[in-house]
Amino acid sequence: MSSPVRYELIGDIGVMSINNPPVNVLSHPVRQGIQDACREAQADSSKAVVIICDGRTFVAGADIKEFGQPPKKPFLPDLLNEIEASSKPMIAAIHGSALGGGFELCLASHYRCAVATAKVGLPEVKLGLLPGAGGTQRVPRLTGITAALELISSGNPISATSAETLGIVDRIVDGDLREGALAYARELIDRGAACRRSSELPAPDANPASCAEFRQQLEKRARGQIAPQRIVDCVEAASTLPFPEGLQFEREAFLSLMTGPQSAGLRHVFFAERDAARVSGIDKTSPQRDIKSVAVIGAGTMGGGIAMNFANAGLPVKLLEVSDDALGRGLEIIVRNYAGGVKRGKMTQDEAIARRDLIQGTTDYAALADVDLVVEAVYENLSLKQDIFERLDDVCKPGAILATNTSYQDVNRIAAVTRRPQDVIGLHFFSPAHIMKLLEVVRAAETADDVLATCISLAKKIGKIPVVAGVCYGFIGNRMLQKYAREAQLCLLEGATPETIDTAMQQWGMAMGPMRVFDLAGLDIGYKARQGLSPEERGDPRAYRIPDALVEMGRLGQKSGAGFYTYDPDTRAYTFDDVSKSVIERAAASLGVERREVDASEIVDRLIYALINEGINIVEEGIAQRPSDVDVVYVYGYGFPAHRGGPMHYADATGLDRVLERICEFRERFGAENWTPAPLLEQLVKEKRSLDSFVVKGA
């Protein structure tokens, strides 16, 4: 097999070209090829060596797929030391992204040049890791401790020009990179430039105050995550240990993170996110419809947020409301949201104006005649949605995609009122719609393949992570949420407080506790939705006794100043008050529930195992295409801790036998009605298999 690394001599300059598509990761043959090329260069007549990549990017990092496999020599840190030890100047020439091990390869090189559009960074923290090939030791020697901490603990790539300012890129190349890099090499040879080794730079000044500040910040920003704290340890070690010992310290920390559960969870999410966009029978070559303009029906919080997504991607949007008043209110919120974006530095004032101008209000359905996609985002009421789809069927041009943003309703029944059910699909955005990354793409019985393919690529275009779901009540996310919420409400009845529940779940890693989530979403939303449901769809009636009582006394959640908690109107600080307490106690008494202490571990297990059990049912029914899609939904739509990999990965990591055992224990204690183990869970335990090994039929 030919090597993915070519080495050639151009005059007295050696050129090492890496070609390992799609993103030139440092798989074993690449490391071997780099070592061979480096050794050849030491022995030939070259006076300097350029390291450059073919394809769309410089090296994007170590090959994550190799993690957990038996390691093969040359190991990356040793290889990079060998590059740095070269007796001839090594020059990294960067385009696309130089990330992780890829950027560490640049740092071990003696000089770094880049095109202005390039990005560099050390994103390992996003995989629960730290740079394991010298990054934590070389960067601080080049930039000082604080800038190194910022770069490595955020994991965010920076532009080549910012990197130049920081001193980790030496030269920005205009025009062709290869030519520019060769010219740079020529210049270095001509001036007899030395091999400038970052490991030989003086250790950076210690900065205990900065390290302490980062530790504290990261405890909040990356609650429960180990890697960010270890990054601070390693960067700090750059100032206290000699380079070889610092490298060893970093290596040990890297290996312990790599073999730990948090990185396994985050690596799982990395691949799960990419798998989610794959749909059996549909690929990049599948036909798609052209989407050049969009309409959104409903200018409420959701509709407005959805409209912003499309406008942000440069698509003109018609925003339809029933009255000028409602439209005016909706457009005002959009203006406010854009102003907030400018304030937070997400966009310039001009960009905000241009985006806002792409959104045009209307109250006339006839204005939608020419749009390519309509997203209906009115409140959850099936017959209202059906009326709207009948009208859309009348006014929209043939081939327009008609989407509903419903969270629960049966998309088949909505499609059935049109003469074009093949054009109807669910696009379930999450609130706030212009911020949340998840998009559930609901494939109805008759949705055409080209409609699905178009919506998946459109999702990516507007910066969303699409997950395909089948039709059922609540699809993937909200169907599972109902079981999670049920257990939260039952714990409350049995003796927990909103605070003990929220604290337990947040300490476990959820972005926000369920009680605060309910208050934020508005208790009236669920209340109204329940009115239109069958008793079976509503689930255990005990599970909504308390929220119903709160709504009936005007406590709708944060928006009305009180729900499970009371909110300070100025600071939004929340407290659990006596009124809420007595509502809970009265509800428990009226249901004959005996109150007791419910501890944190019971709360976590009941909520999370209810979620897992329903997730497994969803997988078995083929509502999700694969178990990892459920994980993507929960991590990107519901604040599930990414370092636990999502509910399905967490179940596998815990051991399905243990999960089943605990669910059976809950069945004994609380009854089979809420706690019947998913048949697939029982089957996999019997077969000693994991969810990860399960392939959904037809997916």
In whole angstroms, the minimum distance from the beta carbon of 81 to ligand 3HC comes to 13
Q: Is 421 in the site for ligand 3HC (CB under 6 A)?
A: no
Distance, in Å, from the CA atom of 300 to the CA atom of 73, rounded to the nearest integer, reads: 58
Q: Indicate which residue of 8, 82, 104, 390 is catalytic.
A: 104
Residues sharing a CB contact under 8 Å with residue 334, sequence separation 6 or more, in sequence order: 304, 307, 308, 356, 359
132 near ligand 3HC, rule: CB under 6 A = yes
80-84: list long-range contacts, CB under 8 Å, 24+ apart. 80/104, 80/105, 80/107, 80/108, 80/133, 80/134, 81/108, 81/134, 81/199, 81/247, 82/35, 82/38, 83/34, 83/38, 83/108, 83/109, 84/108, 84/109, 84/110, 84/195, 84/197, 84/198, 84/199
| Residue number, 99 or 371, with CB nearest to ligand 3HC | 99
Name which position in 13, 23, 160, 279 contacts ligand 3HC (CB under 6 A): 23
Task: Assess 444 for contact with ligand 3HC (CB under 6 A).
Answer: no
From 4, 33, 89, 123, residue interacting with ligand 3HC (rule: CB under 6 A): 123
CB 480 within 8 A of CB 562: no
> Is the Cβ of residue 104 or residue 524 nearer to ligand 3HC in the bound state?
104
Joined together, the tokens standing for residue 567 give 């909110």
- 513 sits near ligand 3HC (criterion: CB under 6 A): no
Give yes or no for residue 131 binding ligand 3HC (CB under 6 A).
yes
CA–CA separation, 662 and 239 (whole Å): 48
Enter the DSSP assignment of 292.
Answer: -
Binds ligand 3HC by CB under 6 A, chosen from 124, 164, 423, 440: 124
* Half-sphere exposure for 657 (CA within 13 Å, toward CB): 5
Residue 261: what residue type? P
* Smallest gap from residue 22 Cβ to ligand 3HC (A): 5
Q: Rank residues 233 and 410 by Cβ distance to ligand 3HC and give the closer one.
A: 233
* 124 noted as active-site residue: yes
Catalytic: 602? no
Residue 26: phi, psi to the nearest 5?
Answer: -85, 60
Q: Does 133 bind ligand 3HC (CB under 6 A)?
A: yes
The answer to whether 274 contacts ligand 3HC (rule: CB under 6 A) is yes
Which residues have C-beta within 8 Å of that of residue 40, sequence separation ≥ 6? 7, 14
Residues 78-107 that bind ligand 3HC (CB under 6 A): 97, 99-101, 104
By CB under 6 A, the count of residues binding ligand 3HC is 25
**Any contact of residue 269 with ligand 3HC (CB under 6 A)?**
no
- Would you call 536 helix, strand, or coil by DSSP? helix
The stretch near ligand 3HC (CB under 6 A) out of 32-40, 124-132, 431-439, 615-623 is: 124-132
Rounded CA separation 358/368 (Å): 15
- Asked if residues 26 and 76 have their Cβ atoms less than 8 Å apart, the reply is yes
* Stretch in the footprint of ligand 3HC (CB under 6 A) among 130-138, 281-289, 449-457, 602-610: 130-138
Q: Which is nearer to ligand 3HC, 89 or 135 (CB)?
A: 135
Asked if 477 interacts with ligand 3HC (CB under 6 A), we say no
CB 627 within 8 A of CB 476: no
Of the candidates 124, 321, 376, 487, the residue annotated as catalytic is 124
Mark 28-67 with x for binding to ligand 3HC (rule: CB under 6 A) and - for no binding.
--------------------------------xxxxxx--
Residue with Cβ nearer ligand 3HC (250 or 524) = 250
Active site residues: 104, 124
Residues that bind ligand 3HC in the complex, under the rule CB under 6 A? 22-23, 25, 60-65, 76, 97, 99-101, 104, 123-124, 127, 129, 131-133, 135, 271, 274
